[in-house]
Amino acid sequence: MNEQRVRLMSDEDVDQVYVWRNHPDVRQYMYSTHEIEWEEHLSWYEKAKSNTALTLLIYEDRGEPSGFVSFERLRCSKVADWGFYLAPHSPAGSGSFMGRLALDYAFGELLLHKICGQALAFNERSIAFHRKLCFRDEGRLREQHFDGEEYHDVICFGLLGLEWKVGAMV
């Protein structure tokens, strides 16, 4: 049995995802940094369940839910934007496992052609994470995000399915 896996998010995961998303270590790197109210979270989840262009995954480590990943196909059914975060208690190195498993799922199960990612320019860990997973830098959106106090650049990344297959074989 594999010690790590990704699976579809279920109703039983809603509480845990809510707690993770509101943790200060997670919120500080989001576009929306406010503490999300329970009703807002439930509303998001109910809409997400009926959105066929959205896939929500839970990363598990030894049977313990330890992270969240989303793939949203906004412009094309084969191109998705992704978002992710680990549970605050996750051990070092968990992100790499989660990322690889999520990308395998996206390209192998969802049959995506391309995955797009974004990171706020001050989020050096996310930038390094994308590069480690073979994403290519695709641009910088200058002063694209205003956090209520200042503007921040957004770094854009892209990964093609063919690039992932080649990188996975190395």
Mapping DSSP to helix (H, G, I), strand (E, B) and coil, where does residue 140 land?
Answer: strand
Distance CA(71)–CA(151), nearest Å, equals: 26
pLDDT digits (tens, 9 = 90+) for 96-147: 999 999 999 999 999 999 999 999 999 999 999 999 999 999 999 999 989 8
4-169, superfamily in CATH? Gcn5-related N-acetyltransferase (GNAT) (3.40.630.30)
Distance CA(85)–CA(6), nearest Å, equals: 13
Q: Model-level pTM?
A: 0.90
Q: In what order do the strands lie in the sheet with 136-146?
A: 4-8, 54-61, 64-76, 79-86, 114-120, 151-160, 136-146
Domain range annotation of the chain: 4-169
Give the DSSP H or E segment for 157.
strand 151-160
